Amino acid sequence: MALTQDILATYKGPGRVVSRFLAQGRNEVRALLFLLIAGMLMFVATAPFQAREAQLNPEVPLAARLYWSAFFFVFIMPILVYLFAILVRGLAWIARRKVTGFEIRFTLIWALLASTPVILLTGLTAAFIGPGIQLQLLGFVWLAVFGWFWASGLLRAEG
């Protein structure tokens, strides 16, 4: 199944998609690739807002803004995701949950990737409307969608 179809299927039933991926076995390359794709899409989502900010505040040129944004989403964010997954794995071990480190990492990464359509919409809202209640509302929507996908994936991975 194509990645875009998997993302759309996640909005219908996130547990089923994660279950299908996990049934294919441990694949760290796929997890890292999904994380890098999510980072690239997040970078693309922030680019219009960065262009808006460069227009409004020309002290920092657009090229510098895009460079640091790409650096964060492609290099720093994956490290932070893996560190967060380690923290969650430790908490799961303390709580005696039967979920592996790979399952925690993969469900977290898949939740990030599957929620990128909402992130792209948030980026467009930030670029065209700017800071405001609409942007905050979309931030809460993204957080709810991300949490739903991750919780559903973890529950399916554990049981």
Angle between helix 77-94 and helix 101-114 axes, rounded to 10 deg = 130
> Which pLDDT does position 113 carry in this prediction?
94
Q: What is the pTM of this model?
A: 0.89
Average pLDDT, the chain: 91
Contact 7, 114 (CB under 8 A): yes
> Which pLDDT does position 57 carry in this prediction?
86
- The residue ranges of the chain whose pLDDT is under 50 are none
> Which pLDDT does position 1 carry in this prediction?
58
> Which pLDDT does position 14 carry in this prediction?
86
Distance CA 21, CA 31 (A): 10
> Which pLDDT does position 131 carry in this prediction?
87
C-alpha distances in Å from residue 27, one per residue of 16, 39, 48, 49, 102: 18, 19, 34, 34, 9
- Write b or e for each residue in 84-100: b if 16 or more Cβ atoms lie within 10 A of its Cβ, otherwise e: ebeebbeebeeeeeebe
> Which pLDDT does position 13 carry in this prediction?
87
Looking up tokens 């547990």 gives 15
> Which pLDDT does position 84 carry in this prediction?
95
Residue 55 structure tokens: 């227009």
